[in-house]
A and B are shown apart, each in its own frame.
Chain A
Amino acid sequence: MDQAAKIVEILGELAEVAARPGAYATDWKARTGRKVIGILPMNFPAEIVHAAGALPVTVQEDDAPITYGRRLLHEFYCGYTRSLVDQAATGRLAPYDGIFLVDHCVALLGAADAIRFELPDMPVFLAQFTASMDETTTRPQILGRIAELRERLEELCGAPIEDQAIRRSIGAYNRNRSLLRRVYELRRSGLIRLTSRQMQVLVKSAMVMDVDEHSARMDRLLALLEAQPAAPSSLVRLHLSGHFCHAPKPELLDMIESCGATVVDDDIYTGYRYISTDVPEGSDPVAALAGWYFNRNTNVPCSTRAQMTVDWESYLANALEKSGAQGVIVLVAKFCEPHMLYYPELRKEFVRRGIPHLLIETEHEGLALEMLKTRVEALIEVIRRPALSREMA
């Protein structure tokens, strides 16, 4: 088998896991006899679940149409939360032994409550992390919440979680993140040409798989990718921004790239946002997990947090400079309030800096891709014709 075929094979395996997390979780349970914990985005420290001997799986939006979930959550909630409750109402959360979350998004909390109502025997545990990062009371509160998580997981998994186990888990997850970040570096520098669909597979599968299994595949994949000749491209270089909590549909990503663009970087949740930040190693592991919570918002600011000292727009401007991206497509999941609130601040900065940009709202039910394609093509055209671009800015 040649190298390209081996790359395709690994990506295919990971794509299968990303597409069917429940099947992977069921199989993993059968293999290990241990528990699987569904975790909800975006700030959950998966390491603590792993240290308990369980498999943390970030519950994904799935493609099924929302049917029975409609009796649990109104239609004006984001696609992710509606999909979550529909999964609960139709038995698709059965592989999970519990659902855990730390985020305070109002829609996510509504969905978690609906899951608890629908599945009264399923442990649904909220350890709400304070989202305002500026106050002195926040860090002690986060430490307390992680302690609660630890206690509840110990109860659920039936064994104490030792500090040393958390340290080992932190090491395993840091290594996995660094492998994924290496792929991002190679993509930014133009040394490899993975599509956005493929990049999404890498990160989504990392959210589902046992971390060591995933890292083993990433080791093999990286060795193969690095042995490939460089792949220079004359396509327009784009940055994808936003799309919290769940993955944009792969067909949208395909369409964007079919318009003569290559995506060189992103800050979406099922992308760089997820892998941006390591947990400090070697110190008190609980304090380290709390530190990670703060650090990742400094590294890749998120409008779901409230922090006066960081700016998403400044981060984006720097990211574009580093990657050489020529424009930004902002992907907003419909009804995502923190993103809707912050978007004008991003737009102001794009306009100020003359960065071509496009806003696309995504929906669970699908998108009018042909209509969107016209808009993406217009953006590409604007970037290719700098004079017009300046005029638009």
Chain B
Amino acid sequence: MSAITEHANSGQPPARTAPLANRLVSTRAGGEMIKNYWDNLFTARERGATVVWYNGAAINPILQAAGVEWCHGEAFGARLAAMHLERPAQQAGEAYGYINELCSYARTTLGCALLTKKEAVDRVEIDGSPNIPDKEVLAARLPPPDLFVNAYAGCSTGQQWDEISYRVFDRKLPLFKVSYPLLWGNKSDAGYLRGEEWDNASKYVAGQIYNLIEFLEHQTGNKFHWEGLRESMHYIKRAAQLRLDALELCKAKPAPAVFWDWVASIAPINFLPGNQALVDYFQGVKTEIEQRLQDGVSALPNERYRLAFDGIMNWNKVGWLANKFAERDAAVVCGRYTHNSFWHEPHLIDEDDPILGMAQHYLLCPFNHSAKNLAEQVLRDCETYGIDGIVFHATRTCRSATNGQLLLARMAQEKGIQTMFFEGDVADESFYKDEVLQSRLEAMLETIDVQRTRAA
């Protein structure tokens, strides 16, 4: 009897298997930094801090320089899902009326909003949600917001969901929205980081960031700390460059670190304060990878296949997926979400005048591109990292992550790269289909073997 059948019959969760991938040790420090960040945020009210809830791009340096504390909605949703603690928030959302095909980030975060509001004022229009612990549950621990900022690129739902957050909190709190054009490419000169469309979009977003700063000054009464912004962007630029350097080292075969290690490093680069600690973290990651290369240590004991991962993360299943791939000797070396996002073009940042470069990074959200733009980046990475196949995560409730995937797969196939899709979701594990992943992965790896045999 297979482990899966046994689990299905017994009704017990499967026993955790030992990690097969040799995960980086240095990323554990990031886990501690993130925990401390959230623990500190949970006490914001007691400390008299102003709290901004925001979604989308990494505008945290702006918020930091505005003297407020920041809560990134998706990041908290991802954290809950990664800790398998998302259900209370999602149950609250369901009871409120959200259909489960709605973006699970939005459902989770809006569920947190409902629970937070319940904690704050003890009155929310939930039709008797069963089994939601009210005091201890992590989902209810966010400090209620003083204002909202929405900065969501590449997804109309992202903007609309903060419009709903605003309504859940009785339409009383200020809300500022930054809007982004999709990098679509109407004109022949359009492409990644180039063309008139890119220039115009960059200026349009930069203008809105200046307006956001005015909004924050007006709402908080704080003078914006421009020198503080320059300083934090200095650190972020250094950290981002270290991250890129470390990614670059993973071109080595076998790879010293894999996608799952980079997933562990998303949160620090995405929303932690720009400071020396952030730089030290990425220096630590880079140093460990350099050491591995010197010592001949790889992420997988027997790397046979090099894969890319496309789509947003399946936060419920990070460890599970890492093992799934490792047990088949498949090193997932790069991914759109890890390699084409999160301050990944640090040369754009002018430390003395950082707004334009920041705006450009916000536009470069990995889901804010046409399929043609995506192909330019993803196929380039496939070449850079010597990729045999791409694994597409068909993220059930995230249309922004899945836009263009089927087109990208066809473009990759034309280049001789194998592709497969598996079904799952960003923060709702009920959509994950393990058998689909297993059988399709095996089929793709066999095809890669056949391809190699023929080429030999």
Taking Cβ atoms with an 8 Å cutoff, the residues of A that contact B are 71-74, 76-77, 104-107, 109-110, 113-114, 116-117, 125-128, 130-132, 134-138, 141, 148, 152, 303-304, 306-308, 332, 334-335, 337-338, 340-345, 347-348, 351, 361
- B407-A72 in contact (CB<8A): yes
B137 located at the interface, meaning its Cβ lies under 8 Å from any Cβ of chain A in the complex: no
B 389-417 binary contact with A (CB < 8 Å = 1; else 0): 00000101101101111110010000000
B99 interfacial contact with A, CB 8 Å: yes
Q: Please name the residue on chain A nearest to B373 by beta carbon.
A: A113
Are A136 and B163 within 8 A (Cβ)?
no
Cα distance, A113 to B182, chains bound together (Å)? 11
The answer on a CB contact under 8 Å between B399 and A77 is: yes
Q: Does B223 sit at the interface, judged by CB under 8 A?
A: no
CB < 8 Å neighbour of B102 from A141, A148, A341, A345: A341
Q: How far is the CA of A306 from the CA of B171 in the complex (A)?
A: 13
Query: Quick one: which of A104, A135, A306 contacts B163, CB cutoff 8 A?
Result: A306
- Binary per-residue interface labels of chain B (291-311) against chain A in the complex, 1 for a CB within 8 Å, 0 otherwise: 000000000000000000000
Q: Which residues of B contact A (CB under 8 A)?
A: 96-99, 101-103, 106, 125, 150, 154-157, 159-164, 166-167, 171, 175-177, 179, 181-182, 184, 186, 204, 207-208, 211, 370-371, 394, 396-397, 399-400, 402-407, 410
Contacting residues, chain B, for A76 (C-beta < 8 A): 101, 394, 396-397, 399, 402
Task: Check A128–B181 contact: CB distance below 8 A.
Answer: yes
**A308–B166 CB distance below 8 A:** yes
Q: Knowing A109-B182, A114-B407, A361-B99 touch, does A131 contact B167 (C-beta < 8 A)? A: no
User: Is A110 a contact of B399 with CB atoms below 8 Å?
Assistant: yes
* A131-B156 in contact (CB<8A): yes
Within the complex, the shortest CB–CB distance from B455 to chain A, in Å, comes to: 27
CB < 8 Å neighbour of B406 from A74, A304, A337: A74
A107 — which chain B residues lie within 8 A by C-beta?
399, 403
State the 3 A-B residue pairs at the shortest beta-carbon distance, nearest first: A344-B97, A110-B403, A132-B177
Q: Are A337 and B204 in contact (CB under 8 A)?
A: no
Q: A77-B399, A135-B211 are in contact. List 19 more A-B contacts (CB 8 A).
A: A71-B410, A74-B402, A74-B406, A76-B399, A106-B403, A110-B403, A113-B184, A113-B370, A113-B404, A114-B404, A130-B179, A141-B204, A306-B160, A306-B177, A338-B156, A338-B157, A341-B102, A343-B97, A351-B125
- In the assembled complex, 29 residue pairs joining A and B whose CB atoms fall closer than 8 Å, in A order, are A72-B406, A72-B407, A76-B397, A104-B182, A106-B156, A107-B403, A113-B404, A113-B407, A114-B404, A117-B407, A125-B186, A126-B186, A134-B175, A137-B204, A138-B179, A303-B160, A306-B150, A306-B159, A306-B163, A306-B177, A307-B163, A308-B175, A335-B101, A337-B103, A338-B160, A342-B164, A343-B97, A343-B98, A344-B98
B400 (CB) vs chain A CBs: closest residue: A106
The reply to whether A341 and B186 form a contact with Cβ atoms under 8 Å apart is no
Chain A residues within an 8 Å CB radius of B103: 337
- Chain A hits for B396, CB < 8 A: 76
Are A126 and B407 interface neighbours, CB within 8 A?
Answer: no
Cβ of B23 to closest chain A Cβ, rounded Å = 31
Nearest CB to that of B179 among chain A residues? A130
A391 to chain B, nearest CB (A): 15
CA distance A342 to B97 in the complex (A): 9
Whether A137 contacts B208 by the Cβ 8 Å rule is: yes
Residues on A with beta carbons closer than 8 Å to the beta carbon of B410: 71, 117
Q: How far is the CB of B219 from chain A (nearest CB, A)?
A: 14
> Do B166 and A131 touch across chains, with their CB atoms under 8 A apart?
no
- Report Cα–Cα, A106/B102, bound state, in Å: 13
Residues from chain B with a CB closer than 8 A to the CB of A135 are: 176-177, 179, 208, 211
Q: Which residue of A lies closest to B102 (CB)?
A: A340
* Complex contacts, A116 vs chain B, CB 8 Å: 370
B403 touches A113 (CB 8 A): yes
Known: A304-B160, A340-B102, A345-B164. A128 touches B182 (CB 8 A): yes
Say how far B294's CB is from chain A's closest CB, in angstroms.
Answer: 44
Please, how many angstroms separate the alpha-carbon atoms of A141 and B400 in the complex?
A: 23
Chain B residue at minimal CB-CB distance from A346? B97
Q: Give the docked Cα–Cα distance between A83 and B308 (Å).
A: 30
A77 to B147, CA, bound (A): 32
> CA A116 – CA B185 in complex, angstroms?
11
Task: Report the minimal beta-carbon distance from B289 to chain A, rounded to whole angstroms.
Answer: 35
Q: How far is the CA of A148 from the CA of B204 in the complex (A)?
A: 15
Q: Which of A73, A128, A306 has the most CB of B within 10 A?
A: A306
Q: Are A137 and B211 in contact (CB under 8 A)?
A: yes
A106 to B371, CA, bound (A): 13
CB–CB B156/A105 < 8 A? yes
Q: Is the CB of B159 within 8 A of A131?
A: yes
- In the assembled complex, which residues on chain B have CB atoms less than 8 Å from the CB atom of A72? 406-407
A114 to B, closest residue via Cβ: B407
Q: Which residues of A contact B102 (CB under 8 A)?
A: 337, 340-341
Complex: chain A residue closest to B208, CB-CB? A137
Measured between alpha carbons, how far is A152 from B186 in the docked complex, in Å?
10
Distance of B373 from chain A, by nearest CB (Å) = 10
CB-CB under 8 A from B207, the residues of chain A are 137
B159 in contact with A132 (CB, 8 Å): yes
B371's nearest neighbour on chain A, judged by CB, is A113
Report yes or no: B106 in contact with A341, Cβ–Cβ below 8 A. yes
A125 to B97, CA, bound (A): 36
CA of A343 to CA of B396 in the docked complex: distance in angstroms? 20
| B164–A73 touching, CB < 8 Å | no
